[in-house]
Amino acid sequence: MYRCPECGSTNLEVVVEVWATLIQKGDGFETDTTTPTDANHEWGDNSAMRCRDCDAQEIAERFETDASDSPSSES
């Protein structure tokens, strides 16, 4: 579970790395992120993460919380 360390929001964004087709045209380069179609979006504990509610930005590791920390009713 990932949760904003500042405001507790789970409305988050993370920077991902994705495989893209490299298109080389003369001296220029373009990337096509729509191919390959099986491209994995990769991110980890050191990826940048941002809270959409309060704009706090840290590495993902700082946002990780133990699921047991979440306020939930005891059953």
Q: Does 6 bind Zn ion (CB under 5 A)?
A: yes
Do 9 and 51 touch, CB atoms closer than 8 A? yes
Q: Does 11 bind Zn ion (CB under 5 A)?
A: no
* Smallest distance, Zn ion to C-beta of residue 70, A: 15
Check the CA dihedral 47-64-40-56 and report its sign. Answer: negative
Q: Does 13 bind Zn ion (CB under 5 A)?
A: no
Helix (H) or strand (E) holding 62: helix 60-63
Q: Which stretch binds Zn ion (CB under 5 A): 4-12, 15-23, 28-36, 62-70?
A: 4-12
